[in-house]
Amino acid sequence: MEFGTYLWTTFAAFVILATFSFLYKDNPFYKFAEHLVVGVSAGYFVIILWHNGLVPNLFHRLADGDWYLLWMNSSKPWYIIPAILGVLMWTRFSKKYSWVSRWPLAVYIGVGTGLAIPLEMSNRVNKQLYAAMAEIDWSNFWGSRFLDVSAGYSDIIIFVGAIAALIYFFFSKAHTGVFGGVATFGIWILMIGFGASFGYTVMARISLFINRIQYMDNYWVQTAFDTSNPNFHAGFQILFWLLVAVLILYIVREIMAHLKTKAQQG
């Protein structure tokens, strides 16, 4: 590992700690990390969309034309149309002509919505309906073990539960009688589903937290403090203690400010 990589790893460790410092309260270190990631992410997407979007989709297609002929002699000159529409989006900068930006927006929304209707019906609604109508496994109705996912009764719960949950969202008929009973079963299924999704999300976040701690341990602490490690570098220690000094100074300043406020109040 080169010293440059040490430096980057240390900076990554610093921004991780700075972000975690929000658990105490909003502070300058967190604000620094937060504003940095906003700028860097925006810059990253500019570059990605330029190199992977604009260059292959537009520039390469007009590349064999001449700019002084407005690329009309290229092999795909019609690609100048989306470019012009894209530029028209920038009329938003003008108060007088901002209405022109509705034209490219209308094309974008027209294509997007027109595309969404068959695709959503096919990919969400129809696929889920096909899956819901899968054959129930009667030969393995009670399953081979405790709460067997592949058992027949699980298939029935999935089928009935999905219909009951859909009925719960059907508000054109009062939820009374048998209909109300099915709707109540639907909300039970929904609540169990929401609880399971919530628990799953919490565990996913915990996994990310563990991953961050492992990153700090594997890539930073072990190379920074283990002098027997061939990658150990004295500069790393200096950087670490500098960071610690900055953190201590900040905490001392916070305590002093707190004491000063208390003294003024009391």
Residues 200-229 that bind other proteins (CB under 8 A): 200-203, 205-206, 208-209, 211-212, 215
Residue 249 touching other proteins (CB under 8 A): no
Using CB under 8 A, which of 198, 245, 248, 254 touches other proteins? 198
- Restricting to residues 16-75, which ones interact with other proteins according to CB under 8 A? 16, 19-20, 22-23, 31-55, 57-59
Q: How far is the CB of 127 from other proteins (least distance, A)?
A: 9
Residue 196 touching other proteins (CB under 8 A): yes
- Restricting to residues 145-184, which ones interact with other proteins according to CB under 8 A? 145-149, 154, 157-166, 168-169
Contact call for residues 76 and 101 (beta carbons, < 8 A): no
Count, residues near other proteins per rule CB under 8 A: 122
Q: Which is nearer to other proteins, 11 or 259 (CB)?
A: 11
Q: How far is the CB of 246 from other proteins (least distance, A)?
A: 16
**153: closest CA among 136, 178, 165?**
136
Which of these segments, 104-112, 221-229, 232-240, 248-256, binds other proteins (CB under 8 A)?
A: 104-112
String of DSSP letters for 142-198: S-SSTT-TTSHHHHHHHHHHHHHHHHHT--SS-S-HHHHHHHHHHHHHHHHHHHHHH
Which of these segments, 175-183, 193-201, 233-241, 253-261, binds other proteins (CB under 8 A)?
A: 193-201
CA 172 to chain centre: 36
Using CB under 8 A, which of 8, 24, 179, 225 touches other proteins? 8
Fill in the DSSP letter of residue 230.
Answer: T
Cα 110 to Cα 121: distance, rounded to the nearest angstrom: 17
Cα 254 to Cα 64: distance, rounded to the nearest angstrom: 63
Cα 75 to Cα 10: distance, rounded to the nearest angstrom: 51
Q: How many CA atoms lie within 13 A of 208 on its CB side?
A: 8
Residue 246 touching other proteins (CB under 8 A): no
Using CB under 8 A, which of 1, 85, 221, 247 touches other proteins? 85
Contact call for residues 215 and 16 (beta carbons, < 8 A): yes
Token pair recorded at residue 110: 């027209």
Using CB under 8 A, which of 1, 136, 190, 221 touches other proteins? 190
Using CB under 8 A, which of 64, 66, 120, 226 touches other proteins? 120
Q: How far is the CB of 184 from other proteins (least distance, A)?
A: 9
**222: closest CA among 236, 235, 211?**
236
**For residue 18, with 0-12 CB atoms within 10 Å meaning exposed, 13-18 middle and 19 or more buried, which class applies?**
buried
Residue 134 touching other proteins (CB under 8 A): no
